[in-house]
Structure 1
């Protein structure tokens, strides 16, 4: 019979090759071109001439899929091990597909790259299991699918747990989420999780488009953090904020200005770039980008760091913007080299000279070369390199697609050495000293009252222009309809009932940071934020706050239980403080809870049934503690589930994606009974009235909210 394969196996291999070829064709940009694009960038001499064909070939290829594992959710190391052993090892033997590889420059090997595009991963049969894993784990917040170059700005910002961080153009939010993870560094340790302490820092995520801000809320909610505030302002005139109504202005330790840009670095995933590219796209954005960068530097604390980034290759949007602000700040801001923070990451230095293209494709080296006419009115002196020759532009990072199979990107890190020349040094030094004293006095924050309109800060707390001057009342009173953020305290009747039911010590738990959104009707959901977020919202009633914090309790109107139940998404924060209504289960009972939506109590072990009988009907917290003597037993992490003690059942509340995540952690992801089910769908085990359904509140913008045009240049 020789060495021929059986017909069935041969057919399978043939189909696999066809699928791979078809998947590649779905993203075939090999014939895309734009004469102006090539003329403009060849003139910039941004790479050696011999590399130009390689660069252009890479620009026309589909963009690889990249993702990272969330670093602070308690399951990160276990999930990384699961990914390597159960989902990636099988792909190593494939010859038609290059196996996934960790990004060598991403810390702790927590980010991976698949050498296929986002359409192909859905088409190739051998990748279907991995694709399903990525979809589920993304929904639960344990994995984020994000372009590799998009991961760079948060890493070089070097965010710490105590930092106040402003993300000026944040939507859709993957960089914001990554910074939120960095804020929580250390929470993944046993000590970090058991203490219940929250980071002191805060992420303020802003986007001018209110609808995009709502999309960002969904992205951030997956991370289950109380340390963020989402708002909707024009970032070029972002308001000056305070942490107290009459306190000093808030200056941020870190600022990310991932500004709107022409986006020609995204051609690998956006083929339309080839057809639409014109020099005017970048030229028209230059002044807007400079305004955003200037405002970011004004809001940055002395000693703080700002990262300016775009997904554009154009020096008019990159080096020219950075150079313009370096000249204006007269040495008070320094351009720093952050390459040491990314060992193994490949980039080129920033350009020190470049040409500018007019509307008809004419290239100019100097502004004085521009003839009187359309181009003279259209181009600006700051577009050109003439004034920037002595600036250390080589400290900028230019990322080109052929260097390491990524999109195109630009990053510049700026550090503020002293107050900006147009700011009042005495005023800001006094403000910084007062802010430090206020911080020391406000750390407790437990006995708090809701902020009202009477608490509005005076003067420059309102939105200001780029020079720091307040805007006129007319310009700052844009229509913005949002429910208020109202805070509880230990004596609030709702909180008293919750603390008594679950044995929460209000002296330890920061109940002053629990908020609700309705003044008159029943408080349907309760949220938790950290001290800094509470102080920010209370100190700035005019801040256009869209959302903040994490949902921790939801009202329950069961016939036999009327009160509040803890929610799974906030349970990791609540769990260290809850002392009552808890049931501890062994692994076999945990599997019963995962396999069935409403299992009867007689399915559990006697110890679990005894604990179940000792409780009245209502919400419970279900604990699983790993066996320290059996290192091989899965799950190898402790788990805490929001549940319900029914009349005849014990159930765990979780949606389909969270259930699949936990079955994977237990090593039994192939449980047939749970596949295809959604949250709240029974499996014929218990009764439909046994506890409330686990529906989630949708994050929707108010009907009156108007969407504004915007593009943050996110390289996702």
Structure 2
């Protein structure tokens, strides 16, 4: 046979990988299994083993730190070893949010109560008492129970359907807490620094839109940022269900999030509404070791080491300080982690307070959300490194631990340089010792006691730590910071010696958990005094405080950096562009300002198309179009999608242009119009149809292409997707459809069977479907799950007293005749939309 083909290549690969070159059959496997099986029963060996849910180093570390008292340690550790209950949140922006809550309260809580047994130790389903309006729920049933039990299986299908629709969001219970302490209102500019996967961002958007009326947009906005491009895509997918024009997604390292401020002498300075991008609220949910998620991710038990926290401490501090620099005076920032380690929690907060002085205060929020059980922050802790406990930075230097920085300790004050002399850093100033560094002087008296067991003088008890066994949740740490005045610029004349104790910190490598995703991170450091390479740094205009790092500090996430996601060197850029020019048949590399590989942001200014859209849909002049429509295609002659941005996002876009496009924006705006490319679309007077995402915002301003349908006809549209005009039950609806132009139209449910005004009045309870009027039929293109969901909600809301939704017969008594393929529009052309 010549040994050709795949088999030969595979054998060579096996040799290269050092695999055993034997042919194994079922008999060999059984013999090997009998030898290796501990029970000796001849069964095949089980290669998969459950995760070990214990770690001696973990136990020793947290027992010493005193996270919980010794009398409750057993309850604490037993709870950590149990699976985490599933939690989900009803999206308050959903039109059916109260209906879903009622269904959970009246139907599932009662029907599933009988499934609770002592054997599975389940609590059934219950609302989380501390979450507003009973919109957060928790289920203690395991996945196996949900699949095998018929009653639970129905509940499981309900969760999957509502999550896919966007009515609920599956989210860990403690992960819902940080946004609740930000006190977000509709006029606030909010920055989510480490936003992916987007559950907290969704909460922030709900808060922004909570007070807005139908057809209006909030004056604030949310910028959701993440360092990884792929996780940005996950973030976009999660927040897309919100259908908001007040969101922008950016792709930056959080610790280097750019200051977007107008350049001096800008030609259009008078036209800009804002000159610098600062935020009223900042959510700083930083990457961490993630040991608070042990119940959800049991693989962390085996991987956990104390170095995971030590290696990420400085990165967390960088991100937090950058967040405060971008925060407006009078604004609030929430710092949070899903870790229990004080090195990542209290140590970071205490260093923030030391650096910022009286400019920032730690807010006492103990009276807020009173039903949320939480514990005060620690005021004393130790640092462990390579098997050695360190009570102070002096101990770290004595034991040769140059990667352990002073900010990890409660006082953050004692510092020893390479000559062995002591230095204290008080309020950003270096206090020299009396011996001029000739000999090491041992501290005496009270100072010696402080070094043995340091206790912070800062009000760290205002922080909150959520532990698992208090309310059967995961673990979390939260601190609320209030910016009282501009941050001080810390400067000092410092020698290069003062940086040497930190210089080896880059050798520390660890794995960091960012929302259950492991990230390889090297230890990072920020000079406490705001110096770089031993030289004082002058203040800059783009931040309130100087935050620098040593030259050796690597990219915070090099393993996830994608090619083309950052500005390339000139030589590389020219090479890429030349390839694009040669490949005429391929899509050219998109350029957004200085960012390569990202779609540009272009204002849509085609007056002919805009006039055609306005006339076709009868859009009132009061709807703001000027400089609110953008595209992501530099070739304006081939625009497929038009996005709409709010006034707040528009101001940010204009400021970003004036600042030289400092922001790398991956997603922005609400998809409003889409070009219809099917045969039916080309024959329509308007080639652009209204996107389902943009329909709720645009509908109150439309005067044409709208028809009111009775509940029966509305139900038939959802059931059969395409219906010929003679098959509609209501004559008035049929006549209205005949008067509409060919193309995109909107069908509004006339739930009261009353005479519908023209155009119909729109409020938060209005239910609509985007449709396409063909030559002989009306088509709606929605997924089966969308149809099923809306039909169920209509049955609950309208009931069957009047028989309005029980008549499945059409006007002529025949079954629905399927329309020809030419009359069907593409599968994404028209989708379900609701207002409110």
Alpha-carbon contact 1:264-1:313 (below 8 Å) kept: yes
Cα-to-partner distance string for 1:578-637 (whole Å, 9 max, x where unaligned): 1101010111111101111212223312121111111232110110133299xxxxx994
| 1:85 corresponds to 2:85 | no
Counterpart of 1:208 (choices 192, 202, 227) is 227
Cα shift at 1:655: 2.7
Give the corresponding residue for 1:391.
458
| 1:143 corresponds to 2:143 | no
Give the corresponding residue for 1:422.
489
Structure 2: how far apart are the matches of 1:655 and 1:394?
51
| 1:612 corresponds to 2:633 | no
Counterpart of 1:573 (choices 697, 701, 708) is 697
Q: Which moved more, 1:569-578 or 1:508-517?
A: 508-517
Cα shift at 1:384: 1.2
Give the corresponding residue for 1:364.
390
Counterpart of 2:363 (choices 336, 352, 355) is 336
Cα shift at 1:684: 6.5
Counterpart of 1:231 (choices 250, 256, 259) is 250
Alpha-carbon contact 2:725-2:776 (below 8 Å) kept: yes
Structure 2: how far apart are the matches of 1:527 and 1:281?
42
Alpha-carbon contact 1:641-1:653 (below 8 Å) kept: no
Give the corresponding residue for 1:530.
646
Alpha-carbon contact 2:217-2:646 (below 8 Å) kept: yes
C-alpha distance 475-611 of structure 1, shift in aligned 2 (>3 A): closer
Cα-to-partner distance string for 1:104-123 (whole Å, 9 max, x where unaligned): 01001111110134565345
C-alpha distance 127-242 of structure 1, shift in aligned 2 (>3 A): farther
- DSSP 3-state at the match of 1:219: helix
| 1:299 corresponds to 2:326 | yes
Structure 2: how far apart are the matches of 1:576 and 1:660?
26
Structure 1, unmatched stretches of 5+, are 1-26, 425-458, 469-473, 630-634, 675-681, 698-716
**Larger Rg computed on CA atoms:** 2
Q: Which moved more, 1:524-533 or 1:276-285?
A: 524-533
Cα-to-partner distance string for 1:426-484 (whole Å, 9 max, x where unaligned): xxxxxxxxxxxxxxxxxxxxxxxxxxxxxxxxx9669997369xxxxx99835531221
C-alpha distance 119-606 of structure 1, shift in aligned 2 (>3 A): same
Give the corresponding residue for 1:100.
125
Structure 1: how far apart are the matches of 2:317 and 2:378?
18
Structure 2, unmatched stretches of 5+, are 1-47, 413-454, 492-539, 550-563, 569-594, 755-762, 798-804, 809-814, 831-836
- DSSP 3-state at the match of 1:93: helix
Alpha-carbon contact 2:169-2:199 (below 8 Å) kept: yes
Cα shift at 1:511: 4.5
- DSSP 3-state at the match of 2:357: coil
- DSSP 3-state at the match of 2:821: coil
Counterpart of 2:777 (choices 649, 656, 660) is 649
Give the corresponding residue for 1:664.
792
C-alpha distance 118-302 of structure 1, shift in aligned 2 (>3 A): farther
Structure showing greater relative contact order (alpha-carbon pairs closer than 8 Å, 6 or more residues apart) = 1
C-alpha distance 29-268 of structure 1, shift in aligned 2 (>3 A): farther
Counterpart of 1:113 (choices 122, 127, 138) is 138
Give the corresponding residue for 1:560.
683
Alpha-carbon contact 1:332-1:419 (below 8 Å) kept: yes
Structure 2: how far apart are the matches of 1:200 and 1:118?
42
Cα shift at 1:486: 1.6
Give the corresponding residue for 2:79.
58
Q: Which moved more, 1:91-100 or 1:519-528?
A: 91-100
Give the corresponding residue for 2:619.
504
Cα-to-partner distance string for 1:496-531 (whole Å, 9 max, x where unaligned): 111110000233334531211213242111111101
Give the corresponding residue for 2:54.
33
Alpha-carbon contact 2:95-2:764 (below 8 Å) kept: no
Cα shift at 1:312: 0.3
Mapping 1:217-256, distance limit 5 Å: 217-242=236-261, 246=269, 248-256=275-283
| 1:377 corresponds to 2:402 | yes
Alpha-carbon contact 1:239-1:462 (below 8 Å) kept: no
Structure 2: how far apart are the matches of 1:462 and 1:655?
48
Structure 1: how far apart are the matches of 2:221 and 2:823?
39
- DSSP 3-state at the match of 1:353: coil
Structure 2: how far apart are the matches of 1:555 and 1:511?
20
Q: Which moved more, 1:597-606 or 1:327-336?
A: 597-606
Give the corresponding residue for 1:312.
339
Q: Which moved more, 1:261-270 or 1:492-501?
A: 492-501
Give the corresponding residue for 1:163.
188
Cα shift at 1:687: 2.3
Structure 1 residue runs of 4 or more that deviate by more than 4 Å after TM superposition? 27-31, 117-120, 243-247, 459-465
Give the corresponding residue for 2:442.
none
Alpha-carbon contact 1:333-1:416 (below 8 Å) kept: yes
C-alpha distance 475-110 of structure 1, shift in aligned 2 (>3 A): closer
Give the corresponding residue for 2:19.
none
After TM superposition, the score normalised by the length of structure 1 is 0.80
| 1:693 corresponds to 2:826 | yes
- DSSP 3-state at the match of 2:73: helix
Give the corresponding residue for 2:300.
273
Counterpart of 1:323 (choices 346, 350, 353) is 350
Counterpart of 2:69 (choices 36, 48, 65) is 48
Give the corresponding residue for 1:466.
547
Give the corresponding residue for 2:17.
none
Cα shift at 1:29: 7.6
Give the corresponding residue for 1:477.
567
Give the corresponding residue for 1:585.
709
Structure 2: how far apart are the matches of 1:475 and 1:515?
22
Give the corresponding residue for 1:455.
none
C-alpha distance 310-683 of structure 1, shift in aligned 2 (>3 A): farther
Give the corresponding residue for 1:713.
none
Structure 1: how far apart are the matches of 2:722 and 2:543?
53
| 1:518 corresponds to 2:585 | no
After TM superposition, the score normalised by the length of structure 2 is 0.69
Cα-to-partner distance string for 1:517-552 (whole Å, 9 max, x where unaligned): 213242111111101112212221231100012111
Structure 1: how far apart are the matches of 2:374 and 2:251?
33
| 1:71 corresponds to 2:186 | no
Structure 2: how far apart are the matches of 1:414 and 1:637?
39
Structure 2: how far apart are the matches of 1:236 and 1:224?
29
| Matched residues, number | 613
